[in-house]
Copies of this chain bind each other. A is one copy, B any other.
Amino acid sequence: MPSKCINVEDWLNALDASGFRMTAVQETLIDIFAHSDFPLSAEQAWHVARQSRPKTGRATVYRMVEKLENLGLIRRVHGYQGCSHFVPTLPELMMLFICQSCGRADYLDSQPLQDLIHQSEDSSGHHITDSRLQLFGVCTSCQENA
């Protein structure tokens, strides 16, 4: 669950350290991405942002998303319905699970994935620099509600 794993301060520091000015929109959007249980598209993030800051510009949100992605704070994922959704990047590489019933995202231990990657690197000869594993299915609570 993103909200538990993400430290908003760290994100603000990362932006600050990269020489960006600290603004209200930034904080709003960081807050939105850091605390959403769902992968969000830029468009969705814009709508959420306008609830607290009605004048927030669309372009601004797209720029911010690009910035956060470049800094590695959020990462693009195969969305539940579409391919332009973002989740916070966690300190350790973790595996992403998305529930096809409620749309919520969960993060699973990635050690087995790390092992798998090293193993594949050895057997294929390719040099692997990045990976993206997404699991889809029905989460525990949706199973109980069914």
CA A130 to CA B113, docked complex, whole Å: 16
Interface size on A, residues (CB 8 A): 37
A135 in contact with B117 (CB, 8 Å) = yes
CB–CB B136/A109 < 8 A = no
Whether the pair B109, A123 counts as a contact (CB closer than 8 A) is: yes
Per-residue CB contact flags for chain A residues 128-146 toward chain B (1 = under 8 Å, else 0) read 1111111111111001000
Query: Are B140 and A136 in touch, CB under 8 angstroms?
Result: no
- Confirm or deny: A97 has a beta carbon within 8 angstroms of a beta carbon on chain B: yes
A55 at the interface (CB under 8 A from B): no
Tell me the A residues contacting B by CB distance below 8 Å.
Answer: 76, 78, 83-84, 95, 97, 99-100, 106, 108-109, 112-113, 116-117, 119-121, 123-140, 143
